[in-house]
C-alpha cells in the first residue's frame, strides 16, 4: 500500500512529534514564565591599606626585643666611604598613593656619648627593583639634620620590592668605637 520510503518518513515524523509532546507535557520548563524578582545591589568597601615589610639578614637580638632590621658597617680600613654590609629589602603593598620618608639621628659612640658621627655622613640609595628604569642605581643622598628625606613616592597603589643601600663616610675626626643611631621610617598616604 504505502511505499517503504514513505512509511519510514512518517514513522520518523511521528516519533519526533511524540517526543515533542512528551517534553511539553512532562517538562516544567515548558510552562515556565519569567517574572522579575528583586534587584540585588553589590557594594564593596575597600579600606585604605599599606603594608611595609623590611627584611635584613642582620638584626639586633641581644639588646632589643623586637628583632628590628639593622644597617651594619664594618669600617676597618681607616677614613673613607663604606657600604653597609647588607642592603635592606623593602616589600610594600598599598592600594593608595603614598610617600615613604626617612629621618636619621646622629650615630653616638656607645662607650663615650661625647663622640658622634654627624648624620650628614650617612647616606641612602633606594631602588625600586620592579622598575625597568635604572635612574637611581648607586645614587646616594645624604641625610640632613632636622629634615625628612623622601626616598620613594607614588601617586597610585603599588606592589613592589625595593632595595635600600646605605653608605657611611668616615673621617679622621671619627674616633674608634661602636656607634649606634636610628633611621625612622614614616609613610604619608594620599
The answer, yes or no, to whether residue 166 has pLDDT greater than 70, is: yes
Q: What is the pTM of this model?
A: 0.71
| Number of CB atoms found within 10 A of residue 181's CB | 15
Task: Quick: pLDDT tens for 58-76.
Answer: 766 555 556 788 899 999 9
Mean pLDDT of 45-51: 93
pLDDT of 178 > 80? The answer is yes
Q: How far apart are CA 175 and CA 3, in angstroms?
A: 119
Q: Which of residues 130 and 141 earns the better pLDDT score?
A: 141
- What one-character-per-residue DSSP string does 136-175 give? STT--EE--TT--EEEEEESS-EEEEEEEEEEEEE-TTS-
Go through the domains of the chain in sequence order and give each one's CATH number.
50-189 (2.60.40)
Q: Are 51 and 94 in contact (CB under 8 A)?
A: yes
Do 70 and 58 form a contact (C-beta atoms < 8 A)? Answer: yes
Question: Above 50 in pLDDT, residue 134?
Answer: no
Q: Rounded to whole angstroms, how far apart are CA atoms 24 and 123?
A: 82
Amino acid at each position: 500500500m504505502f511505499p517503504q520510503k514513505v512509511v519510514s518518513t512518517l514513522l520518523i515524523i511521528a516519533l519526533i512529534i511524540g517526543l515533542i509532546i512528551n517534553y511539553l507535557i512532562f517538562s516544567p520548563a515548558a510552562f515556565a514564565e519569567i517574572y522579575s524578582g528583586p534587584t540585588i545591589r553589590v557594594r564593596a568597601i575597600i579600606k585604605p591599606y599599606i603594608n611595609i615589610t623590611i627584611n635584613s639578614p642582620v638584626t639586633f637580638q641581644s639588646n632589643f626585643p623586637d628583632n628590628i632590621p639593622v644597617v651594619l658597617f664594618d669600617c676597618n680600613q681607616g677614613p673613607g666611604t663604606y657600604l653597609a654590609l647588607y642592603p635592606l629589602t623593602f616589600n610594600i603593598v598599598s592600594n593608595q598613593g603614598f610617600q615613604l620618608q626617612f629621618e636619621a639621628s646622629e650615630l653616638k659612640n656607645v662607650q663615650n656619648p661625647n663622640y658622634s658621627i654627624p648624620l650628614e655622613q650617612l647616606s641612602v640609595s633606594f631602588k625600586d627593583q620592579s622598575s625597568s628604569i635604572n635612574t637611581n642605581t648607586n645614587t646616594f643622598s645624604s641625610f640632613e639634620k632636622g629634615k625628612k628625606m623622601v626616598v620613594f613616592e607614588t601617586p597610585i597603589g603599588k606592589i613592589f620590592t625595593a632595595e635600600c643601600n646605605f653608605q657611611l663616610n668616615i673621617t679622621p675626626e671619627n674616633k674608634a668605637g661602636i656607634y649606634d643611631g636610628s633611621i625612622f621610617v614614616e609613610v604619608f598616604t594620599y
